[in-house]
Amino acid sequence: MRKLDLTEKDPSGRITIYFEGQPLKAYEGEKITVALLANGIYWLTTSTEGRKRGAFTFGPVPMVVNGVRNVNARKTAVRNGMRLERQGYGDFQEAVKVDEGKPVLRQVVDVAIIGAGPAGIGAALEIQEHLTVALIEERGWLGGDMWLKGLPQEGFEGEPKGVIKGLTGKFNESIRVFRKTIALGVFDEGEYFLVPVVRENQLIEIMAKRIVLATGSVDNILLFENNEFPGVFRRDFALEVMNVWGVAPGRKVAVVGSRPEDVTPELERWGIDYVVVPNPKRVEGDEKVERLIDMNGNVYEVDAVIVSDGRRPDINPITQAGGKLRFKRGYYTPVLDSKHRIRDGIYVAGSAVSIKPHYANYLEGRLVGAYILQELGYEANPCIYKERLKEYEPEAVPIHRIPFEEFNLEDIQICGCDVSLKKVDDVVKQGITDLQIIKRLTHLAMGFCQGRFCLFNGAVVVSQRTGTDMAKIDLPVARPPLKNVRMKVTAARG
Amino acid sequence: MPTRKLPEKSQIVIIGGGIIGVTLAHELAKRGEEVTVIEKRFIGSGSTFRCGTGIRQQFNDEANVQVMKRSVELWKKYSKEYGFSFKQTGYLFLLYDEGEVEEFKRNIAIQNRFGVPTRLITPEEAKEIVPLLDISEVIAASWNPTDGKASPFHSTAAFALNAEKFGAKLVEYTEVKDFIIEKGEIKGLKTSRGVIKTGIVVNATNAWAKLINAMAGIKTSIPIEPYKHQAVITQPIKRDAIKPMVISFKYGHAYLTQTSHGGVVGGVGYEIGPTYDLTPTYEFMRGVSYYFTKIIPALRELLILRTWAGYYAKTLDSNPAIGKIEELSDYYIAAGFSGHGFMMAPAVAEMVADLITKGRTDLPVDWYDPYRFERGELRGQALQMG
């Protein structure tokens, strides 16, 4: 077993990779970032301003793979003999292979569902008897956030992976599943919606009569000093390495944020030693987290920090598709009509709508599926789902007061692209409170994550510094592509 | 940046707080005039906010070359004085056939005549300037090292700040609703935040110019229409990988360069309109990717972070309408910049300030005569990118 392996891996898949020249054990199918973590390697890249970064919180992870620069280490699987090196954010591949690329494919379906978590699965199951479906999922698995969990989830019977397998096992041939596929956006072409998607550098144009945004929520980024240092894990990444890959975030970890209970039972299940620290101030270390210091000056010797601070709907797909937002229960949520639509033809379901248990998101997917069936002239009974959904009151997510005066603001990263809390706060203190202007002046929300992990905190800074109600803050809308895409993919002809 | 109460009166009111309105207010205030800018959103929020950074003197007619020569002098002067970045990293036009070369030889002759040091260079020289270029199909290039780029947002902010220091008032989040006119004379403007008394009004609203002209009851036909143009930005890469603005008419009328932050920014000549819609399109993302990767193959492996859209306020000959409108006392227009207004702004400010304060200007403002459309005297098409 490697340093941080939690489970014995299949020895037949054992391979050797090299990191900075040093041979390491890895297993076929593993992602680069996971294989390196299992070997105890956290620091993978360096930001433009020289900050060390890992793979498990915000910011990109470009690496040199077999001499090729700027390869996304989060999305690339290890191969035997692979040579990996660190690089800075700005390094890029000058000599590239020029080919015509893969020809563009086209698919026509009745409904394109973006996101295959419980909501997307629910919608697909509801409509599969009558309609054809493209189910588009960025990750390598179906089940979304629920797949990351090891413990039974409210409303479902049994272990989460088993439940998901049971549900997806009912898919019939009218559901076309696209795994490891990103959607670039939703474009209204009048007669139909166009959803261009990318799978392994292949551009596929999906044409659909109706769209379901089952695009989920994103983890909140907690503000503390060096909050993006190697060894800091977002909750979803921590659960992924443990429950999908059988690798521990560290041998002793600290859990911070307002929702430690979303992580601690999982740590207990794996027997990982942890401490809950309610008020983190700073993490420190040489190449990775070695200690966490709290607001009271207590020092915790740990080798990883997991941030579990709740989730908020990912608003980017909503606004790109033309939806409006309102602020409710501590987050921005899509404005829906009585049939869960942001506009004609585009439905939203799951934690993209509100934060609630997986089962409620699943019901909401079924509900939206039933509305679509009805709209297209098939018999359906949305009322059943609507009634059952009423039993789940959406959760409120607390907004933290940022204790500006107690922090060294320069060391807190609000955005993965070298935007410190100080940079943003300084601009707001000058009296600039329009997020559009703050964006231009600080580069907040202009990087790789397109604001997913930083825009909300930007709004919090404005709200707290000026006393403006969060509901009155105008959020910049997302522009395509919804996820980063290599230019060669969209350059393909045909 | 300023959000101020609407003053009761102002000698001169400029409608529109983009780069044109702001540089004009700066110039007038510097000359001691009492001037107010009224902007419906925030300073620099319209097309200025969405523009592509380029500043060039490589035009194809005498007037634009002269005006841009002056403009670059002012960009140099003010960027130094006010501490915003203006980099003279040049403009590089890639040429692919003899016809293009002949046309550019003519343009270069005009440019040289007015002291703009453009040269026709070889493909190898072009590759020395931008090592990432694919020059396999390029037969020559037009190169002027004194052209450059600036951040539209930071430069507008700097002009705004200094305009205020000279006493100009910049009123944001205030929309002009109507003109108050008595016997053919402007008496004031009605706005969303009350009335401002004034006798002199400048329409610097570019894409919205026809709406303001209609409010003023102008009968003269000054056709300015908003067209959707789009832009793209990639992930940031090492600084100075692409220093100049690179232009390729062959590949989609593309323009591209690198921002000070490191991203590769640019657009192509894919035009939609007339429209006030600003939704970025999938067709643009496809087209810009195809053309850009033809010009610089290394872009193939870069990530697109975002696309967006803005307006080109276009006239029939791609030249702006700048001048006094005689049918209403003291009403001026500086609008319809057709995709190259940002670069022109400091010189336009000087011209319009001259017209207001002296009634004449040494710069060739007649080229931009607002009455030329009605007289059917269109100019030669100004060289437009993107």
Q: Which residue has the higher pLDDT, A264 or A494?
A: A264
Rounded to whole angstroms, the Cα distance separating A380 from A123 reads: 12
CATH number at residue B9: 3.50.50.60
Three-state SS annotation for chain A: CCCCECCCCCHHHEEEEEECCEEEEEECCCEHHHHHHHCCCCCCEECCCCCEECCCCCCCCEEEECCEEEEECCCCECCCCCEEECEECCCCCCCCCCCCCCCCEEEEEEEEEECCCHHHHHHHHHHCCCCCEEEECCCCCCCHHHHHCCCCCCCCCCCHHHHHHHHHCCCCCCEEEECCEEECCCEECCCCEEEEEEECCEEEEEEEEEEEECCCEEECCCCCECCCCCCEEEHHHHHHHHHHCCECCCCEEEEECCCHHHCHHHHHHHCCEEEECCCEEEEECCCCCCEEEECCCCEEECCEEEECCCEEECCHHHHHCCCCEEEECCEEEECCCCCCEEECCEEECHHHCCCCCHHHHHHHHHHHHHHHHHHCCCCCCHHHHHHHHCCCCCCCCCCCCCCHHHCCHHHCEEECCCEEHHHHHHHHHCCCCCHHHHHHHHCCCCCCCCCCCCHHHHHHHHHHHHCCCHHHCCCCCCCCCCCCEEHHHHHCCC
Cβ neighbours of B292 in A, within 8 Å? 487, 491
Token pair, residue B90, equals: 């040049």
Nearest CA to CA, how far is B30 from chain A (Å)? 25
Please answer yes or no on whether B300 and A488 come within 8 Å at the CB atom. Answer: yes
Q: By C-alpha distance, which of A352, A144, A375, A374 is closest to A244?
A: A144
pLDDT in tens, A381-406: 999 999 999 999 999 999 999 999 99
Nearest CA to CA, how far is B3 from chain A (Å)? 9
Tell whether the model's pLDDT for residue B326 goes beyond 80: yes
Q: Which of B314, B334, B354 is the last residue of a domain?
A: B314
Token pair, residue B373, equals: 């459309």
Q: Are residues A326 and A372 in the same domain?
A: yes
- Average pLDDT for chain B: 96
Burial class (CB in 10 A: 0-12, 13-18, 19+), B350: buried
pLDDT in tens, B355-365: 999 999 999 99
Which of B153, B285, B301 comes nearest A93 by C-beta?
B301
B272 contact A CB<8A: no
pLDDT in tens, A56-78: 998 899 999 999 999 999 999 99
Which pLDDT belongs to residue A101? Answer: 78
Beta strands B86-87; B185-191: pairing state: unpaired
B238 contact A CB<8A: yes
Please answer yes or no on whether B262 and A48 come within 8 Å at the CB atom. Answer: yes
Nearest CA to CA, how far is A99 from chain B (Å)? 10
Rg (CA), chain A: 22
Beta strands A304-307; A252-256: pairing state: parallel
Can you tell me the mean pLDDT for B253-279?
96
Split into its structural domains, chain B has a count of 2
Q: Are residues B83 and B231 in the same domain?
A: no
- Domain span holding position B154: 1-88+148-223+317-385
Q: Are residues A213 and A120 in the same domain?
A: yes
Q: Are residues A384 and A424 in the same domain?
A: no
Rounded to whole angstroms, the Cα distance separating A254 from A252 reads: 7
Q: Which of A26, A53, A88 is the last residue of a domain?
A: A88
pTM of the model: 0.96
Which pLDDT belongs to residue A418? Answer: 87
Q: Are residues B182 and B52 in the same domain?
A: yes
Torsion from C-alpha of B178, B182, B184, B189, nearest 10 degrees: -30
Please answer yes or no on whether B239 and A92 come within 8 Å at the CB atom. Answer: no
User: Scanning every residue of chain A, which has its alpha carbon at the shortest distance from the alpha carbon of B298?
Assistant: A94
Q: Are residues B192 and B304 in the same domain?
A: no
pLDDT in tens, B156-187: 999 999 999 999 999 999 999 999 999 999 99
- Average pLDDT for chain A: 96
A48 contact B CB<8A: yes
> What residue type is assigned to position A327 of the chain?
F
Q: Are residues A454 and A360 in the same domain?
A: no
Per-residue CA distances from B373 to A227, B201, B384 (Å): 60, 22, 19
Quote the percentage of chain B above a pLDDT of 70. 99
Beta carbon pairs, A and B, within 8 Å: 113
CB A452 within 8 A of CB A152: no
Q: Are residues B217 and B205 in the same domain?
A: yes
Q: Residues with Cβ < 8 Å from B375, sequence gap 6 or more? A: none
Q: Are residues B122 and B11 in the same domain?
A: no
Q: By C-alpha distance, which of B196, B205, B200 is closest to B186?
A: B200
In degrees and rounded to multiples of 5, residue B82 shows phi and psi of -100, -5
- Domain span holding position A48: 11-88
B251 contact A CB<8A: no
Of A98-102, A216-220, B201-205, B318-322, the poorest mean pLDDT is in A98-102
Q: Are residues B287 and B299 in the same domain?
A: yes
Rounded to whole angstroms, the Cα distance separating A44 from A60 reads: 10
Answer yes or no: is A462 within a domain.
Answer: yes
Nearest CA to CA, how far is A185 from chain B (Å)? 8
Q: Are residues B97 and B82 in the same domain?
A: no
Answer yes or no: is A115 within a domain.
Answer: yes
Strands (E), chain B: 12-15, 35-38, 54-55, 86-87, 91-95, 119-121, 140-144, 148-150, 169-171, 176-182, 185-191, 194-197, 200-203, 225-234, 245-248, 254-258, 264-267, 303-314, 321-325, 331-335
Can you tell me the mean pLDDT for A234-257?
98
Q: Are residues A328 and A442 in the same domain?
A: no
B261 contact A CB<8A: yes
Q: Which of A363, A390, A417 is the last residue of a domain?
A: A390
A10 contact B CB<8A: no
Nearest CA to CA, how far is A359 from chain B (Å)? 34
A429 contact B CB<8A: no
Confidence of residue A417 (pLDDT cuts 50, 70, 90): confident
Confidence of residue B385 (pLDDT cuts 50, 70, 90): confident
3-class secondary-structure state, position B180:
strand
Can you tell me the mean pLDDT for B122-136?
98
Cis peptide before B226 (omega within 30 of 0): no
Answer yes or no: is A255 within a domain.
Answer: no
Q: Are residues A350 and A413 in the same domain?
A: no
Q: Are residues A355 and A472 in the same domain?
A: no
Cβ neighbours of A493 in B, within 8 Å? 290
CATH number at residue B286: 3.30.9.10
- Window 149-178 of B, Cβ < 8 Å to A: 153
Please answer yes or no on whether B308 and A431 come within 8 Å at the CB atom. Answer: no
Tally of CB atoms within 10 A around B30: 17
- Distance between alpha carbon A130 and the CA centroid of its chain, in Å? 31
pLDDT in tens, B39-66: 999 999 999 989 888 999 999 999 999 9
A443 contact B CB<8A: yes
Q: Which of B314, B332, B348 is the last residue of a domain?
A: B314
- Window 13-52 of B, Cβ < 8 Å to A: 42, 45, 49
Token pair, residue B264, equals: 């590769």
User: Scanning every residue of chain B, which has its alpha carbon at the shortest distance from the alpha carbon of A434?
Assistant: B42
Q: Are residues A361 and A463 in the same domain?
A: no
Q: Which of B292, B314, B336 is the last residue of a domain?
A: B314
Q: First vs last Cα of chain A: how many Å apart? A: 48
Tell whether the model's pLDDT for residue B376 goes beyond 80: yes
Answer yes or no: is A190 within a domain.
Answer: yes
Q: Are residues B214 and B341 in the same domain?
A: yes
Can you tell me the mean pLDDT for A188-216?
97
Quote the percentage of chain A above a pLDDT of 70. 100
A151 contact B CB<8A: no
Quote the percentage of chain A above a pLDDT of 90. 94
Which pLDDT belongs to residue B330? Answer: 96
CB A203 within 8 A of CB A102: yes
Can you tell me the mean pLDDT for A173-201?
97
Split into its structural domains, chain A has a count of 3
Cβ neighbours of B49 in A, within 8 Å? 436, 440
Can you tell me the mean pLDDT for B106-118?
98
Which of B45, B285, B293 comes nearest A481 by C-beta?
B285
Can you tell me the mean pLDDT for B206-228?
97
pLDDT in tens, A146-182: 999 999 999 999 999 999 999 999 999 999 999 999 9
CATH number at residue A465: 1.10.10.1100
Tell whether the model's pLDDT for residue B2 goes beyond 60: no
CATH number at residue A190: 3.50.50.60
Token pair, residue A291, equals: 């200690």
Cβ neighbours of B306 in A, within 8 Å? 446, 450, 479-481
CB A356 within 8 A of CB A395: yes
Tell whether the model's pLDDT for residue B256 goes beyond 80: yes
ipTM over 0.85: yes
Per-residue CA distances from A412 to A12, A147, A225, A311, A407 (Å): 44, 31, 4, 20, 8
User: Scanning every residue of chain A, which has its alpha carbon at the shortest distance from the alpha carbon of B41?
Assistant: A434
Q: Which residue has the higher pLDDT, B52 or B279?
A: B279
Which of B299, B302, B307 comes nearest A480 by C-beta?
B307
Rounded to whole angstroms, the Cα distance separating B113 from B132 reads: 32
Of A91-105, B219-233, B280-294, the poorest mean pLDDT is in A91-105
Tell whether the model's pLDDT for residue A416 goes beyond 90: no
In degrees and rounded to multiples of 5, residue B5 shows phi and psi of -70, 145
pLDDT in tens, B230-247: 999 999 999 999 999 999
Nearest CA to CA, how far is A449 from chain B (Å)? 8
User: Scanning every residue of chain A, which has its alpha carbon at the shortest distance from the alpha carbon of B44?
Assistant: A437
CATH number at residue A22: 3.10.20.440
pLDDT in tens, A359-369: 999 999 999 99
Rounded to whole angstroms, the Cα distance separating B330 from B334 reads: 13
Nearest CA to CA, how far is A483 from chain B (Å)? 8
Cβ neighbours of A91 in B, within 8 Å? 237-238
Q: Are residues A213 and A109 in the same domain?
A: yes
For an interface test with B, which of A76, A87, A93, A487 has the most B Cβ atoms less than 10 Å from its Cβ? A487
Q: Are residues A33 and A137 in the same domain?
A: no
Q: By C-alpha distance, which of B254, B222, B261, B257 is closest to B239?
A: B261
Token pair, residue B215, equals: 């409010």
B282 contact A CB<8A: yes
Cβ neighbours of B239 in A, within 8 Å? 90
Q: Are residues B69 and B200 in the same domain?
A: yes
Nearest CA to CA, how far is B280 from chain A (Å)? 7
Tell whether the model's pLDDT for residue A100 goes beyond 90: no
Which residues are bridge partners to B323 per DSSP? B333
Please answer yes or no on whether B280 and A480 come within 8 Å at the CB atom. Answer: yes
Can you tell me the mean pLDDT for A448-470?
94
Which pLDDT belongs to residue B3? Answer: 58
